[in-house]
Amino acid sequence: MVVTTKAIVLSAIKYAEADLIVSCYTEGYGLKSYLLRGVLKSKKGALKTSYFQPLTQLEIVAVHKDKGTLERIKEAKIAQPYRSLHTHVVKSAIVLFLSEMLKNAIQEEEANPPLFHYLAQSFYWLDNHEQVANFHLLFLLKLSAYLGCYPDASNIDAPYFNLSEGNFQETDSGLYCEKGPAVAVFKGLFGIDFDSLPQIKLTKSERKHTLNLLLVYYQLHLQGYKKPRSLLVLNQLFN
């Protein structure tokens, strides 16, 4: 079946001499993997290697056999050109980190248009703003809503956050209860949008510990989650 859909590139891995295996989150068909034969050697083909950088937004024409095997992309074009996402040092580190997070976190193979639109709009915002050091924190919190594990904030004034239960509590009730500066920062992310991020001033330590809290939360609530290898690069950059 030949389909046309928007797609966001999550990863591209070299295969054999000149091929790429590309993982995309598509608007119409959810998570899909494609084998691009000869793309690394072809200079005049319809598919350009530069199209398959992490988080690139494409419109593709693809052949889907839906048999659990790698699919094929016939045509691709940039759907949302980026100005700075792959050239700005901080943004490119965030891109690598988030693309790996998404590759680990998104498992569904059905279409989820609200999730796709959230991703597309979030990356557009990241591309067009300069104060982005805390972007990944708010992005991950908001992403959890689309993954079905958004924390319960009904008791947000309580001092403890139970990562296992996903709620705020008055007392320490177990191994995964946290309190302190990271939880205070975490609370400040609820109920805001990306345009409010420049108002959040964090130290490097606060940012690192809040991110670690979010990553433990993902580990507890998402089956098969793996800590991103790019986390080390992100932490080194912000340190």
**Cα angle for residues 23, 208, 125 (degrees, 5° grid):** 50
Q: Minimal CA–CA distance to 1: which of 68, 45, 61?
A: 61
Position 239 scores a pLDDT of: 62
DSSP string computed for 32-70 = EEEEETTTTT-SSSS--GGGGSTT-EEEEEEE---SSS-
Written as one letter, the residue type at 36 is L
Position 224 scores a pLDDT of: 84
Domain coordinates in residue numbering, the chain: 2-80, 89-238
Q: Which two tokens stand for residue 131?
A: 């104060």
Would 2-80 and 89-238 be classified into the same CATH topology?
Answer: no
Homologous superfamily (CATH) for 89-238 = Recombination protein O, C-terminal domain (1.20.1440.120)
- Please provide the CATH number assigned to the domain covering 2-80: 2.40.50.140
Q: pLDDT tens digits for the chain (239 residues)? A: 999 999 999 999 999 889 999 999 999 999 999 999 999 987 777 799 999 999 999 999 999 998 878 999 999 999 999 999 999 999 999 999 999 999 999 987 889 999 999 999 999 999 999 999 999 999 999 999 999 999 999 999 999 999 999 999 999 998 899 999 999 999 999 999 999 999 999 999 999 999 999 999 999 999 888 889 898 888 877 76
Q: Which two tokens stand for residue 40?
A: 């690394």
Tell me the C-alpha distance between 28 and 66, whole Å.
Answer: 13
**Largest alpha-carbon pair distance within the chain?**
64
